[in-house]
Every structure is written in structure tokens, then in C-alpha cells.
Amino acid sequence: MAIQIFNSLSRQKELFKPIEEGKVRMYVCGPTVYNYIHIGNARPVIAYDTVRRYLTYRGYEVDYVSNFTDVDDKIIKVAHELGEEVSELTERFIAAYFEDITALGAEKANAHPRVTDHMDEIIEFIAVLIEKEYAYVSEGDVYYRTRKFKNYGQLSHQSVDDLKIGARIEAGTKKEDALDFALWKAAKPGEISWQAPWGEGRPGWHIECSVMVHSHFGDTIDIHAGGQDLKFPHHENEIAQSEAFTDKKFSNYWMHNGYINIDNEKMSKSLGNFILVHDIIQQIDPQVLRFFMLSVHYRNPINFAQDLVEAAANSLDRLRTSHKNLEHRLTATTNLVAVDPAELAIIEEARAYFIESMDDDFNTANAISALFNISTAANKYLNEANTNAEVLTAYKTALEELMLVLGLQLAQDEDLLDEEIDALIAERQQARKDRDFARSDEIRDLLKAQNIILEDTRQGVRWKRG
Ligand SMILES: [Zn+2]
């Protein structure tokens, strides 16, 4: 096995060697649950789900953990605005998160630990850092003594002195040094809080990931992953906390995915181009969204633009059509010709190229081109008058196998038959006459989901497939 991973620590591709033969310990920073995830959050979900699928395909047993930040300033603020309990709000958006990632074809992690379930461990972890003098209490807050950690800046490749220049001096700070960061925040009146030996409060954001990793995996993991925006300070701080705690290396490989732009602009609420997965998958097949994201290497930026998404939809459709045609021919064919070894060789070569591409730092863009090599050759073969079932099956199986590695589904919902559509339209007309608008809307949505376009004409309602 020769998988190369671009490691943000060394800024180069390295041969992947897990701590334990055949096993991978992988941690991915998860969402703060006070809203639906946006498509920027969907990227790491899809990218690292694909990494996990590929490592599994290559024979590794992957233990994959991703956390939920279920208490923080934003959560408290939104819960307060909505007049909801913090736990009600977070439960709602954890459920929504699972719905969205399932639609995107991502599997649940082996564990999804939550901050509020790990409070005792977080407090113990901080107590050890205080004892080791890597942290100090200041008026009920606890801060990490950044300068004491000698390797600070190793992941983001910055020196502590460079950081010092950029660090803001906050008025009335309780910190010894501007670079220090909060491990624990003293409770404000009326806020949700927990009792620690140094006082009431709640954890800072960075500490949770160090604690989740340690409690699930122990001292060192193989892969830690997340969005590029998390590299500094979040991941840098995780390293500082964990390595001060264990005196061991925290993670051997660090993976960071690139940003998403919308029509070449940064996504932001103020620009009004903030896209939630929950909304966009009403308009775009979530599998198309997944295919679109995988068509760009995970480290490169992605530009989310309508024409590019449409192109992705067409490409995915081509793969699905090839597969459908192979299936169809297999129901009809008899072995009119012998197996052509050249055809099988094309498939093997494409499979080898797929693996070579994915071995090369999970190059899904090239892996997708391997899928097209298969589908193009399959289409050519299907054009021949006489075909062989073994060859057809080999094409079909290769498409199924490799698309599954990328989490792409071939089978779509069964299309409605023409007479079923006619019957539904008639039923809708009747429902409208009967003023049963609930049923009439339900049928409209059902037809819309099947891409059926309705037109009102003098002769009545006509329809076509979109
Ligand atoms: Zn994290």
C-alpha cells in the first residue's frame, strides 16, 4: 500500500504509515450546532467521508470521530434570541446535520462526541495543564500559556514573535500575554455553566477537540482533518494543549481542505450569497453537489457557480446513463461473441488509474476521469451489435465499485410512468376543485421532485419531463 498524503505539518506529500498496521485513527473537527450547515461546511464532510471510504476500500479499518460543539457564545446568543433552551436548539440542529450529511452521501462517524457530555474530562484536562504550568487561572478564566509551548506555530508555519506583532492587545485583559488563549471562561450571570475547581464557567472552543481525541483514541492519532480556516489558531492550539498534556506527538498527519467561493466571491452573510445545504438540496440533487465537490481536488479552492454545477449534473448523468444502458443490455443479451480480453484490459487499466489517483493524496478529480474512461469505453462497446455478458458485467461492476468508493450513487429514484403522471395530474385537478389544497400541493411537489413540468393550456394541463 502506498498512499501519499499531503501533510500540512511538513507541507509536502508523505507516505501514509498508520500507528497500528491496518488501522486508521482519524478525527475531523465538526460543526457548532446553532444553524443548518452551509455549503462551505459540506466540503470537509464530503472530502473526509471520501478519504475514509477510500482508506476502507484499501483495506484499512478506519475509526472516524467528529465532534459537535454544543455550547459556545453563538449557541447561547441564538438560543436566547429564539427563547429556547440551549439543549433544544442544539438537538434540533444535530438532527438537521445528520439529515444533510446523509443526503450528501456521507456516513455517520463512529462517534460524534458532544462537549456537554465531556465536561468532567475537559475540567480534568485543564487541571493537568494548570498543574504542569501550561495554564493559569485569572479571575475565574483559565488561559493557556502559549509561549511556554516551544513548538507553537509549527502547523501554520509562523514564529511566536511574528504572531506577537499581529496579536491584539485587549483592553482590561486578564491574560499574561496577548498570545495566550482561553481554556475556560468564567460564567456570566444567567448563562449555562459548569462547576470547576477554579470556579463556574464553560470551556473555550479549542480544548474540546484535544479532550475528545484523547478520550476516544489516547495520545496520538494518525490523521487530523478540517477546513483550512481551522489551521490557525484552532489546530495550532489543539496541538499546544494536547502535546503539553501527553508529551507525545498529537497527530501524525494534518489534512486541510480549501475554501468555497460563490460566483468567485467569498461566501458571506453580508453579500447575501450564504447558501445552506438544507436549502440548496431542494434545488440540486445532493449527489450532484457531492460529484461537483469531488471534481476538484480537496486542497484547491472551489468556485460554486450555476454553470459549473450544471456541467457536474450532466457529467454524473453520463455515468448513470452508461450504467443504465449496461444493465439494460444485460437483460437482453445472449453471449453472441466471446470475451474480448482487450475490453477487460481497458477496465483493469482504468481501475488501476483510479487507485493511483486516489493514492496520490486523494486526487478525486483524476479518479473521476478514470470513471469516464470506463463509461466511454462501455458506451463504445454497447454500440457493437454483439456483446458478451461477462464484459458487460465487468464494465457495470467497475462503475458500481468505484463510484461507491467516492460515495456516488448510480440508482436514482424510480421514474414515474406516463400513465402514473396522467393519473396524478387528474387527481390534482380534482383536489383543487374540492379545495383540498394540501393534497394538491403534495402532488405538485411530488411531480416537481420527478422533474415534471406542468403547463396550463386551453386543452387542459399538459406536462413534460424537465
Ligand atoms: Zn477541532
Residue 29 among known ligand-binding residues: yes
Residue 302, classified by CB atoms within 10 Å of its CB into exposed (0-12), middle (13-18) or buried (19+), is buried
> What pLDDT is attached to residue 88?
96
300 CB neighbour count, 10 Å cutoff? 11
* Cα separation, 9 vs 254, whole angstroms: 6
Distance from the CA of 220 to the center of ligand 1, in angstroms?
A: 15
> What pLDDT is attached to residue 171?
66
* Cα separation, 42 vs 338, whole angstroms: 46
Distance from the CA of 234 to the center of ligand 1, in angstroms?
A: 6
CB atoms within 5 A of ion ligand 1 belong to: 29, 209
Distance from the CA of 256 to the center of ligand 1, in angstroms?
A: 12
Distance from the CA of 38 to the center of ligand 1, in angstroms?
A: 18
Dihedral angle of Cα 264, 268, 271, 275, to the nearest 10 degrees? 80
Omega into 233 within 30° of 0, i.e. cis? yes
Distance from the CA of 65 to the center of ligand 1, in angstroms?
A: 11
Residue 216 among known ligand-binding residues: no
Which grid coordinates are listed for 336?
A: 453472441
| Cα-based distances in Å from 373 to 40, 389, 390 | 30, 20, 18
Which grid coordinates are listed for 323?
A: 450504467
Q: What CATH number should be reported for the domain whose range is 12-257?
A: 3.40.50.620
> What pLDDT is attached to residue 1?
56
Give me the helices (H) in 1-61, please.
39-57
What are phi and psi for residue 400, nearest 5 degrees? -60, -50
CATH 3.40.50.620 residue ranges in the chain? Answer: 12-257
| Cα-based distances in Å from 375 to 290, 380, 394 | 19, 9, 12
Q: Would you give the distance in Å from CA 134 to the centre of its chain?
A: 33
Q: Are 45 and 83 in contact (CB under 8 A)?
A: no
What are phi and psi for residue 294, nearest 5 degrees? -75, -15
Number of H helices, E strands in the chain: 15, 16
- Sequence-distant (6+) residues with CB within 8 A of 411 are none
Residue 323 among known ligand-binding residues: no
| Cα-based distances in Å from 453 to 425, 443, 446, 456, 463 | 11, 12, 11, 10, 5
Distance from the CA of 161 to the center of ligand 1, in angstroms?
A: 24
Nearest to 294 by CA among 120, 10, 42: 42
> What pLDDT is attached to residue 396?
96
Distance from the CA of 2 to the center of ligand 1, in angstroms?
A: 28
Q: Which residues of the chain fall short of a pLDDT of 70?
A: 1, 165-166, 168-172, 333, 411-416
Which grid coordinates are listed for 442?
A: 403534495
Q: Residue 221: in which H helix or E strand, if any?
A: strand 221-227
Residue 238 among known ligand-binding residues: yes
Which grid coordinates are listed for 433?
A: 376543485
Distance from the CA of 355 to the center of ligand 1, in angstroms?
A: 30
First to last CA, the chain: 45
CATH 1.20.120.640 residue ranges in the chain? Answer: 305-412
Distance from the CA of 18 to the center of ligand 1, in angstroms?
A: 21
Which grid coordinates are listed for 404?
A: 461507491
Nearest to 369 by CA among 291, 299, 302: 291
Distance from the CA of 102 to the center of ligand 1, in angstroms?
A: 22
SS3 call for 375: helix
> What pLDDT is attached to residue 20?
98
> What pLDDT is attached to residue 333?
65
Distance from the CA of 374 to the center of ligand 1, in angstroms?
A: 39
How many residues are given for the chain?
A: 466
Q: Are 44 and 67 in contact (CB under 8 A)?
A: no
* Cα separation, 451 vs 417, whole angstroms: 13
Distance from the CA of 205 to the center of ligand 1, in angstroms?
A: 8
Task: For helices 286-294 and 364-382, give the axis angle rounded to 10 degrees.
Answer: 110
Q: Which one-letter amino acid corresponds to residue 407?
A: G
Residue 234 among known ligand-binding residues: yes
* Cα separation, 7 vs 29, whole angstroms: 17
Q: Are 323 and 380 in contact (CB under 8 A)?
A: no
- For the chain, state the CA radius of gyration: 26
Q: Would you give the distance in Å from CA 172 to the centre of its chain?
A: 39
Distance from the CA of 235 to the center of ligand 1, in angstroms?
A: 6
> What pLDDT is attached to residue 416?
65
SS3 call for 156: coil
Q: What CATH number should be reported for the domain whose range is 305-412?
A: 1.20.120.640
Which grid coordinates are listed for 5?
A: 498524503
- Sequence-distant (6+) residues with CB within 8 A of 99 are 278
> What pLDDT is attached to residue 456?
76
